[in-house]
Structure 1
Amino acid sequence: MKPNRTCVATTLASVAVMGVLLGCATVPETGRTQLRLIPPAEEVQLGLRSFEKLKQELPISKDAAARAMVEKVGRAIAAVAPLPDAQWEFVLFESPEANAFCLPGGKVGVYTGILPITQNEAGLAAVLGHEVAHAVARHGAERLSHEWLRQLGGRILVASISDSDPRAQQLAVLAYGIGTEVGAILPYSRLQESEADHMGLLYMARAGYDPREAVRFWQRFAAYNREQGGMRIPVWLRTHPLDETRIRQLEEWMPEALAEYEKARATSAGR
């Protein structure tokens, strides 16, 4: 017997609503409500497996001094980050790419190509503070949750139009995929990046690094992007905010970060 498409669509929609209601959580520091449907243990295991695979595939830098600096700054940032169960690991990979990344559970990778732009420990703290913030905010779980919800929405759509003309079905599914990518997935990606900038600025300040260096780093990074020809992708198709937007936002958050920095300096001086 062929299942009733209305019944199937209604059931799937009910599952989606229950998931949203049960999967709401709050991001530390910013207080934003987010959707997290992935259990923490599962998220951590995904990060651990992926990071171990990367360490086998990518060459680790042989520069002992640079590796030590990444470890030192990373540990200082992690010490002030509210993620007590994290298995922090900071690895410097040999690559000309000017980038860094964080996987769930506290696995942070830095490419040697970004070190000429960070220039110093405070500049590196701006990068690592951002990556640590991704782990604290559990952005990986949030991305997976949104993708799960999008796939479920696609199934609801297919179930509801299963009796339609095949060409109309294809157009509807295509429109749904593009619409959710541009209208939901990419905006959330940019939101997460801005949130990590904000949280990371606070973490580097609490770790004793001058947060004003974050603005200087992004100014240098913007210059680097211009030298490389820049990214000619429209804002609404980007996964990250424009460099100019990030700099402006960091300057807006700076008073809060400087207050944290002064507290850290006072605490350090009192020891």
Structure 2
Amino acid sequence: MKSRIKSFATAGMLTVLCACATSPTGRNQVLLYSETQMAEMGGQAFSSMKEELTISNQRVENSYVQCVAKSLTPYVPQSVFSGEWEVVVFEDEQVNAFALPGGKIGVYTGLLNVAKTQSQLAAVIGHEIGHVIAHHGNERMSTSTLTNLGTQAVSQVISSNEVAYSDAIMAAIGMGSEVAITLPFSRAHESEADLIGLALMAQAGFDPRESVVLWQNMEAASNGQQPIELLSTHPAPQSRIANLQANMTGALNDYQQTTTRPNCH
């Protein structure tokens, strides 16, 4: 009987936790960490990356990326981050970018070979900011806590003010290894960030239709090596394109209504 009561109590606790927050697209989320903790972890991770990776010293490259990023960040809700965003260009062939809690944005120079216009770059940076707006790092860490450590550890996390090491936040934005839980969950995050980024770039005056061209470029750059969607942490390009096109009407409306037109060429 005691074990049954304990099971019911655990289930009740998990239900409460799962309903504690709602994402911008209406999903229930588990968010166990405070904004202060997430911002501190984001800052730690970003500082580590700046020490370990080569920062680009190309003036034109930096100016271009800064212009696109700074055109987007004013449209981020103040509740997410109200300060000045730090934007760094890393000299690396990776076709990638990232954003971290606490107002940190990193762009790898390899991305500029695929994101060929300012609007395409805005689609990527907007997507990465979308992860921060939707608290995906917090949600991913919180889910990991629930999955791996159990309810006793959850209670300790909630009551503790300690901030984890920077590798925790890097794991939260990185790839998972469990097909049954981590990968589908990550694909949901990616699709959600696509839509948030689409709205963000349109509000900032970047052409949202370029987001579709971006993923066509991504697919071409993969040379047919894209892993099958079931075992990928990211949706396949065609799935992303379909998702973006299905939500393009609202984005185009936002784009046409704003008088802002960034000039980051």
1:31 partner SS: coil
Residue 9 of structure 1 deviates from its aligned partner by 9.1
CA contact (8 A) 2:68 2:118 kept: yes
Q: Do 1:129 and 1:200's aligned partners in 2 also have CA atoms closer than 8 Å?
A: yes
Give the TM-score of the pair, scaled to structure 1. Answer: 0.79
Distance 1:20 1:40, change over 3 A: farther
Unmatched 5+ stretches in structure 1: 1-5, 157-179
**1:8-37 superposed Cα distances (whole Å, 9 cap, x missing partner):** 896587356425414521122x22222211
Of 222, 226, 235, the match for 1:225? 222
Query: RMSD of the alignment, in Å?
Result: 2.5
> Which has more helix, going by share of residues?
1
Aligned partner of 1:141 in structure 2 is: 138
Equivalent of residue 9 in structure 2, options 1, 5, 14: 14
Aligned equivalents of 2:73 and 2:6: distance in 1? 43
Separation in 1, partners of 2:152, 2:4: 8
Q: 1:187: how far off?
A: 0.8
| 1:82 aligned onto 2:71 | no
Displacement of 1:150:
0.8
| Structure 2 contact 96–110 (Cα < 8 Å) conserved | yes
Relative distance call for 1:75 and 1:17 in structure 2 (3 A) is farther
- Cα-to-partner distance string for 1:96-151 (whole Å, 9 max, x where unaligned): 11111122222111100010111121111011110111111010000001101111
Q: Gaps (5+ residues) in structure 2?
A: 154-176
The equivalent of 1:125 in structure 2 is: 122
* Counterpart-to-counterpart distance in 1, 2:27 and 2:198: 17
Which whole-Å deviations, capped at 9, do the CAs of 1:215-252 have from their partners, x for residues lacking one? 111111110012xx513x33222110001111111111
The reply on whether 1:253 has 2:250 as its aligned counterpart is: no
Q: Aligned match of 1:241 in 235, 244, 249? A: 235
Task: After TM superposition, list the pairs within 5 Å mapping 1:30-49 onto structure 2.
Answer: 30-49=25-44
Q: Does residue 213 of the first structure (1) align with residue 226 of the second (2)?
A: no
Secondary structure in 2 aligned to 1:181? coil
User: Could you tell me which residue of structure 1 aligns to residue 166 of structure 2?
Assistant: none
- State whether residues 129 and 204 of structure 1, in contact with CA within 8 Å, keep that contact through their aligned partners in structure 2: yes
Q: Report percent identity of matched pairs.
A: 41
Report the AA paired with residue 253 of structure 2: A
Q: What residue in structure 2 maps to residue 27 of structure 1?
A: 23
Structure-2 separation of matches of 1:252 and 1:264: 21
Deviation at 1:181, TM superposition (A): 2.4
In structure 2, the CA distance between the partners of 1:36 and 1:154, relative to structure 1 (3 Å rule), is closer
Rg larger in structure: 1
Secondary structure of the structure 1 residue equivalent to 2:147: helix
